[in-house]
Amino acid sequence: MKAWERIVIGASMVIFVALLALVYTLGALGYRVPPSTPRDLAMVYLTMTFNPSNPLFSAMAPEAVTAIVWDYRGLDTLFETAVFFLAIIASVALMRGVSLPEKPPSSAEGMSLIVKTVTKLTIGMILAVAASIAFHGHLTPGGGFQGGATAAVAPLVALVVFSVYFLERSGVTKNRMLGLRSAGLLGIGLTAFLVLIGSLLSGGTAFVFQNQPKPAAPIGLPWRIDGALTGGTLFLFNVFEALAVSAGFTIVFLLLAVPEEEAIKVVRGGEDGH
C-alpha cells in the first residue's frame, strides 16, 4: 500500500468519526454524556471507604480503588491472581527443559561501561519507586499490581543492557524467582485467613477475607497503628501481590531471553524435526 493511500484512509476515518459523533450528539440532545451524578453503587463505595462513624461497613482505607480491589471484592481479586498464576505456569510449562548454556557466548557482553553504570543506578531507582507505589497503596494511588508491574521493568532493563548471564550471576535465577513468587502467593493466602485464624483461636467467628470488624464477627485487624494508617489487611495484600507479580513477570523475561539455539535443541531434540 502506498503512503498517500494510507494518509487518505486515515484522514477519511477521522472525518467519518467526527461526523458520526455529530450525528450522535444531535440525536442525544438533552441527555448528558457523561452523567452529572455517579451511580448509587459508586456513592456507597465513596462514602464507605473511610468512615470512622460507621466502622462495621467501612474498609478504613482512604483509597477507594484499593479498598474495592482487596476488601469489598477481595475474592474476585484472589481468583484473578489465580488466573495470573496459571498463565505464568503455562508459559513455564511450554519452555520446560530449556536452560541456559553453561558457557556464555562472546556476544553476551552487553552494552558499554557508561550505559551499564547509569543502568545500575536506574535499576535501584526503579525498584525504590516500585516499593513506594506498592507500600503506600492503601493511602495514595498505587498498590500491589502497580508496584509489581513497575518493579518488573527493572529485570527487563537489566536483560537488555547487560545480559541474561549477568542476572544469573547476581542471583536472579528462574527457580529463585519461582520461590519468591510462591512466597507471595502463600502470603496472600495466609492473609486471607488471618482474621479467621485469630478469631477461631479466641473462640469467636469470622469471615474468610475479613478485614475490619463486621456484624457477628467482632475481630478485625487494626486500621491504625500508633497514628499511622495501615488499612488492616490491605497493606499485607499489597506487599505480597507486588512480590508475586514482579517475580512472575521476571520468570517469563528470563525464559524469553534464553538463546534460541538452546530452545530449538530441546524442542526438536530426539525427534526428526517433526
Partner 1 sequence: MIAPQTLVFGILALLGLLSMVATYLAVTERDLVKAVVFSAIQSTAYAFMYYLLMAPDIVLVYVPVAVGLYPAVILFLIKKTERFEGE
Partner 2 sequence: MGINIDTYLFNLLIMTLFANLAISLYGVLARPSLIKKVIALTILSDTANTFAIVVGYRMWPTPTSPPVPPVITRIPPSREYMDWFTARAVDPLPQALVLTAIVIGLAVTLFLVFLTLQIYRLYRTTDVRRIAKLKG
Contacts with partner 2, 147-176, as mask; x by CB under 8 A: -xx---------------------------
Residue 229 sits at φ, ψ, to 5 deg, of -75, 135
Q: Is 189 in the site for partner 2 (CB under 8 A)?
A: no
Cα dihedral 150, 152, 156, 159, rounded to 10, equals 140
Q: Give CA–CA dist 93/177, Å, rounded.
A: 15
Among 38, 97, 105, 141, binds partner 1 (CB under 8 A): 141
Q: Minimum distance from CB of 133 to partner 1 (Å)?
A: 6
Q: Computed from CA positions of residues 27, 32, 34, 37, in that sequence, does the dihedral angle turn out positive or negative?
A: negative
Q: How far, in Å, CA of 175 to CA of 139, rounded? A: 34
Q: Does 178 bind partner 1 (CB under 8 A)?
A: no
CB neighbours of residue 250 within 10 Å: 26
**What character string, x for contact with partner 2 (CB under 8 A) and - otherwise, covers 24-53?**
xxx-xx--xxxxxxxx-xxx-xxx-xxxx-
Give the CA distances from residue 95 to residues 91, 98, 120, 153, 263, in Å, rounded to whole numbers and listed in that order: 7, 6, 29, 22, 8
Q: How far is the CB of 166 from partner 1 (least distance, A)?
A: 17
169: phi > 0 → left, psi -120 to 50 → alpha, else beta; which?
A: alpha
User: What is the DSSP track for 91-129?
Assistant: HHHHTTT----SSPPTTTT-S-HHHHHHHHHHHHHHHHH
Which class for 129: exposed (0-12), middle (13-18), buried (19 or more C-beta within 10 A)? middle
* 153 makes contact with partner 1 (CB under 8 A): yes
DSSP 87: H
Q: Could you tell me how many residues of this chain bind partner 2 (CB under 8 A)?
A: 69
Cell triple for residue 9?
484512509
Nearest-approach distance from CB 90 to partner 2, in angstroms:
5
Stretch that binds partner 1, among 24-32, 38-46, 139-147, 169-177 (CB under 8 A): 139-147
9 binds, among partner 1, partner 2, none (CB under 5 to 8 A by kind): partner 1
Q: What are the phi and psi torsion angles at 214 (to 5°)?
A: -120, 165
Number of residues that bind partner 1 (CB under 8 A): 27
By rule CB under 8 A, what string of x and - marks binding of each residue 4-23 to partner 2?
---------x--xxx-xxx-
Binding region for partner 2 (CB under 8 A): 13, 16-18, 20-22, 24-26, 28-29, 32-39, 41-43, 45-47, 49-52, 62-65, 67-69, 73, 76-77, 80, 83-84, 87-88, 90-91, 94-95, 140-141, 143, 145-146, 148-149, 229, 245, 248-249, 252, 255-256, 260, 263-264, 267-268, 274
Binding region for partner 1 (CB under 8 A): 1, 6, 9-10, 13-14, 17, 65-66, 133, 141-143, 145-146, 149-150, 152-153, 156, 160, 249, 252-253, 256-257, 260
